Amino acid sequence: MSHRSVHDLVAFCQAIFDDLDFTRAREWKAAQPGRGVIGYMPVYVPREIIHAAGMLALGILGGGSDLEVIHGDAYYQSYICRIPRSTLELAVTGRLDFVDGMMFPSTCDVIRNMSGIWKLMFKDKYVRYFDVPQNFKDEVGGVFYENELRELKEGLERISGRKITDEQLNHSIAIYNENRAWVNKVYDYRSAFPWKAPSAEVYLLMRAGMVLPPEEHTLLMQEYIAAAEAENRPMRDNCRVVLTGGFCEQPPLPLIKSLEISGCYIVDDDFMLVNRWIQGDVETTGDPLRNLSRAFLHHSGQTAAKYEPDMDVKGKYLLDIIRKRSADGVIFSAASFCDPALLDQPMMISRVEAKGIPYITLQYAENSGQMQPIREQSGTFADSIKLWSGV
Amino acid sequence: MSGAEVTKSNSQLIQKAMISRNYDRITSGECKVSSTFVPGNLNELLMCFDIANNLPEINAIQNAMRKKSGDMIQEAERSGHSEDVCTYVKADIGMMAKGNIAPNGKPFRDPDMLLLSYSGCFTFMKWFELLREQYKCPTVMLHVPYAADGQPTQNMRDYIVKQLKDEVIPTMEKVSGIKFDIDRLREYLRKSAQAENNLVWMLEQSKRRPSPIDCYFGGVYYMGPIFTAFRGTDEAIQYYDLLRLEIEERIAKGLCAQTLDGDMPEEKYRLVVEGPPNWTSFREFWQMFAEAGAVVVASSYTKVGGVYDYDGFRHDPDHPLESLADYCLGVYTNRNLPTRVDMLARNLKEYDADGLLINSIKSCNSFSAGQLVMLREIEKLTGKPGAFIETDLVDPRYFSAANVKNRLESYFQMIDQKRRAGGFITGNAAASA
């Protein structure tokens, strides 16, 4: 293992984050003939199958705050979130020209319809809308999902020109198991020592995982924890908050920094759920598609894009995280016009209110520029927790 | 619009009475009630268990047309719902907060079940999670996958049938206490198909010049029974028989389409419209078209509760559950954008329309996300100009009459110019109309 400093590691991740031409992914593809890249939108796709096809799963999380959207607005009506505009901007300006296919998960109506836009506009590309079951019984939703996974596998076989064996799939599952384990270790580390692993750094580290192959990302996370541990950083008198609602369109990086500057340590969040969607390891022996299906049905994360069949369980995941992370409060942070997050929010609020957990709500767009009002709001929130919660 | 007497045909009056009867049944307390959604609704199945069908979207529309939805939406926003989300949802939640009074003036009873059969709209899922918080009644989910490649797959069909067998039907049996009888379902489906034949006949009459009907504003009335609580009933068959007679009579007399103020004197423009209408200013909106002599010869909104004309779908009594699956999969917004483009482009050609107007709905991403791309594609395919306006479903704050009227007038002028020039107007110019 190398001995890069936290500064160097963060600079490395920042460069990947800033690079809207996805140079690292282009280089990976060009390094060997026959390699392919499959882009995917938030929230969840089974990256293991893409990996087993010898392809790179490339997370496309919008254009961020620095991308000037010139063309994207011509494709979307006024009242809509920003992520489809900036993603389309990336595509029409040629920044995704090296991507062999795009996957659109069943996150919301906007992302769903975007799969059709891709079909209309980029006719030479592989396009897959990836539906996941909202029924979580093995013999009902499980059968459907296994068949969907099989169709995806066959589609990737067609474009990669190679068969995907069970052995390759199980190997890829093992690689993602390890990657996920390290993602969780980083999250656990941040929760234990939030002053040593600031959220903006952890965020950049996870964003790098959207572009790098999982093996490389795993090494990067190992390196980061070792480097962060070696740094001597002062602990601030911040309160501990869970951030929820930003699972699709991502907030601008200054927003994450602002929250911590204002006095809130983010000890958990739901950015980039894909890299910790499955909780625990997926079995690496037996039928890999069945194992992926079972993991999704029974051990996957919760988000507003998923149906909760049991009203009594609704919101339990959030309360569990608050307890597990010893959080003092919750920041409900959703992108403007995000139907799933904003419709879910009142239900989640009722759960945290019932427990007397402090919370605030804020909305953002990926290109929000004014951080002062957010800093004031979250700073007041942090102060109120410190003053009134006996923290 | 003037305070003139509204012109209503016999079929409209009969439909009004049908809807009233359904509300009386829902509020009577004499039968079990299920709330469910219009696109992909399982009316025939509910009838097998004597369960009344309550449709929150229709309630929101009814309240919007009575100018009540604005207060309801603001009530929901005061209780913590975002300004940014679906206004049908907020109108429903606001209605509950304001006493939950049905359009017949009587209080809604709490539903006995929520049938979350969501087809073509992700928001429905959250809507019923929210209602479940209030009613705490059994909620049965029918997940309908999105037909993203244009055609439903066997896997999708099998998944829906399995859910019907394992989840939906057992829940309905439990709620109603009635055992499922597949022959009863077959009989209802047979009746559905009979009414559906006349529905398609009706839709296709607007190929005539002049069109005897308006397939958007008028279409709202024509499609009512089959998209709501009457598909599979004798009443629906009788309604569509009567409607057919009325339209045949109009054709024989050479009449133009009927409006709220009487028959349109002259048909000047023939349009295809994509997207739902605005309900809070429905009359004013319609009048803008009627005064210009614009008739809508086809619309996607008349397919939102089921597409019957594009690929000939009919409910099939010989394959009852599979047929319900195909119906759910095939509703308009559950079809991918290339299919929607093909459908509208075909309408433009087959109905000899002058152009495509898109009414983009602020709070309905299911319809609206992607419409500008559809507009470009359809212009390319047909050579006919398009135009784009923005309103909302049931939130009066998002209907700007002057703005809509200006855009429509510009659009009609553009069509006139095209006629004079005898050529094609480029897409970008049209899109900015």
Question: How many other CB atoms are there within 10 angstroms of residue A171's CB atom?
Answer: 15
What pLDDT score does B3 carry?
A: 47
Contact (CB<8Å) B82/A345: yes
List of chain B residues with pLDDT < 70: 1-7, 423-433
Residues in chain A: 391
Distance between CA A122 and CA B227 in Å, rounded? 35
The values of phi and psi at residue A91, to 5°, are -75, -45
The values of phi and psi at residue B126, to 5°, are -70, -35
User: Is it the case that residue A152 has pLDDT exceeding 60?
Assistant: yes
Mean pLDDT for the stretch of residues A328-335 = 97
Asked if A127 and B146 count as a contact pair (C-beta separation under 8 A), the reply is no
DSSP for B268-320, written as a single string? -EEEEEESPPPSTTHHHHHHHHHHHTEEEEEESGGGTT---SSS-----TTSH
A7-55 pLDDT tens trace: 999 999 999 999 999 999 999 999 999 999 999 999 999 999 999 999 9
Distance between CA A242 and CA A57 in Å, rounded? 28
Please, which residues 299-318 of chain A have a Cβ atom closer than 8 Å to chain B?
Answer: 304-305, 307-309, 311, 314
DSSP 3-state of B330: helix
Contact (CB<8Å) A311/B130: no
Q: Is B200 on the interface with A (CB under 8 A)?
A: no
Asked if B307 and B392 count as a contact pair (C-beta separation under 8 A), the reply is no
Q: Which two tokens stand for residue B210?
A: 């002049």
A171-219 pLDDT tens trace: 999 999 999 999 999 999 999 999 999 999 999 999 999 999 999 999 9
Selection from A79, A200, A235, A350 nearest residue B85 by Cα: A79
Residue type, A361: T
Tell me which chain B residues have a C-beta less than 8 angstroms from the C-beta of A131.
145-146, 148
**Owner of token pair 């359809």:** B378
Q: What is the DSSP letter of A210?
A: T
Contact (CB<8Å) A113/B369: yes
**Confidence band of A390 (pLDDT split at 50, 70, 90):** low
Residue-wise burial string across B362-400, b where 16 or more C-beta atoms lie within 10 A, e elsewhere: bbbbbbbbbbbbbbbbbbeebebbbbbbbbbbbbbebbe
How far B363 CA lies from chain A's nearest CA (Å)? 7
What pLDDT score does B432 carry?
A: 39
The residue in chain B having the minimum alpha-carbon distance to the alpha carbon of residue A120 is B338
Name, in order, each residue with C-beta under 8 angstroms of A364's C-beta and a sequence gap of 6 or more: A246, A251, A252, A255, A333, A334, A335, A336, A374
Name, in order, each residue with C-beta under 8 angstroms of B385's C-beta and a sequence gap of 6 or more: B354, B355, B356, B379, B411, B414, B415, B418, B424, B425, B427, B429, B430, B433
Name, in order, each residue with C-beta under 8 angstroms of A361's C-beta and a sequence gap of 6 or more: A331, A332, A333, A334, A345, A349
Helix (H) or strand (E) holding A128: strand A126-130
Q: Which two tokens stand for residue A323?
A: 């307890």
Asked if A246 and A271 count as a contact pair (C-beta separation under 8 A), the reply is yes
Helix (H) or strand (E) holding B19: helix B10-28
Please, which residues 62-81 of chain A have a Cβ atom closer than 8 Å to chain B?
Answer: 74-80
Q: Is A151 on the interface with B (CB under 8 A)?
A: yes
How far B76 CA lies from chain A's nearest CA (Å)? 11
A221-269 pLDDT tens trace: 999 999 999 999 999 999 999 999 999 999 999 999 999 999 999 999 9
Q: Are strands A359-364 and B52-54 parallel, antiparallel or unpaired?
A: unpaired
Residues in chain B: 433
Q: Are strands B258-259 and B262-263 parallel, antiparallel or unpaired?
A: antiparallel
What pLDDT score does B4 carry?
A: 52
DSSP 3-state of A36: strand
Asked if B363 and B376 count as a contact pair (C-beta separation under 8 A), the reply is no
Among A131, A149, A158, pick the best mutation site for testing chain B contact (most B Cβ within 10 A).
A131
Mean pLDDT for the stretch of residues A340-351 = 97
Tell me which chain A residues have a C-beta less than 8 angstroms from the C-beta of B138.
none
Question: How many other CB atoms are there within 10 angstroms of residue A212's CB atom?
Answer: 21
Q: Which two tokens stand for residue A211?
A: 């572009």
- State whether the Cα torsion B116-B121-B126-B127 is positive or negative: negative
Contact (CB<8Å) B337/A350: no
Among A83, A112, A129, pick the best mutation site for testing chain B contact (most B Cβ within 10 A).
A112
In this predicted complex, what is the ipTM?
0.96
